[in-house]
Amino acid sequence: MLDHLPDQGHPSGIVPSSVVLTAFQVMSRVFLTWAVTHSVKEVQNEDSVLLFVVAWTITEIIRYSFYTFSLLNHLPYLIKWARYTLFIVLYPMGVSGELLTIYAALPFVRQAGLYSISLPNKYNFSFDYYTFLILVMISYIPIFPQLYFHMLHQRRKVLSYTEEHKKSE
């Protein structure tokens, strides 16, 4: 879910990512991995799982290569280009895999009542995991375009600066 979150400042000084956005990304990946794919065994062989796992894997290889070379003050242009270009394909690929996996899980979640709590109970509380998953899917509609277009803006800014800097040398 929302796997290519944009860089938003660097409070730690180690990597240029917001702690909040990084925590959100980690939580969303744990959610997709555990609360959907692990919990709903029937979806584990879906092509959509392979789709998001491949997208996440390539993204992390690029991201941490970028961070490592940046920390070493020796960032090859190819790594920078990959960081700010390959998301154009990888982000929609990962999001598609995530959404298709959640969608594939829905009938099994509904049939089994997975993680749902019905009334009456001593806490006077109910929770419908099926509806929650649908709301998670709907949340991609406003969030994905914002993050994607932010990354396109970052790409323009970072790569055009690099090109201008190269021309002036």
Catalytic residue among 84, 98, 129, 148: 98
What is the average per-residue pLDDT within 59-74? 95
Higher pLDDT residue, 150 or 20? Answer: 150
**Ranges of H-type helices in the chain:** 19-30, 47-71, 77-85, 87-112, 129-168
pLDDT tier at 14, thresholds 50, 70, 90: low
Of 3, 25, 8, 21, the C-alpha closest to 150 is 8
Residue 5 has pLDDT above 50, yes or no: no
Q: How far is CA 20 from CA 5, 57, 65, 69, in A?
A: 10, 21, 22, 24
For the stretch 105-147, pLDDT in tens is 999 999 999 999 999 999 999 999 999 999 999 999 998 998 8
**pLDDT score for 4:** 46
Neighbour-count burial of 54, counting CB atoms closer than 10 A to its CB (0-12 exposed, 13-18 middle, 19+ buried): middle
The predicted model gives 81-91 an average pLDDT of 97
Q: Is 91 a catalytic residue?
A: yes
Give the residue from 33, 5, 29 showing the smallest Cα distance to 17.
Answer: 5
Question: Does residue 163 have an active-site annotation?
Answer: no
Q: Which residue has the tokens 């993680």?
A: 115
Query: Poorest-confidence range of 22-26, 55-59, 68-72?
Result: 22-26
Catalytic residue among 42, 84, 91, 163: 91
Quick one: average pLDDT of 55-73?
A: 96
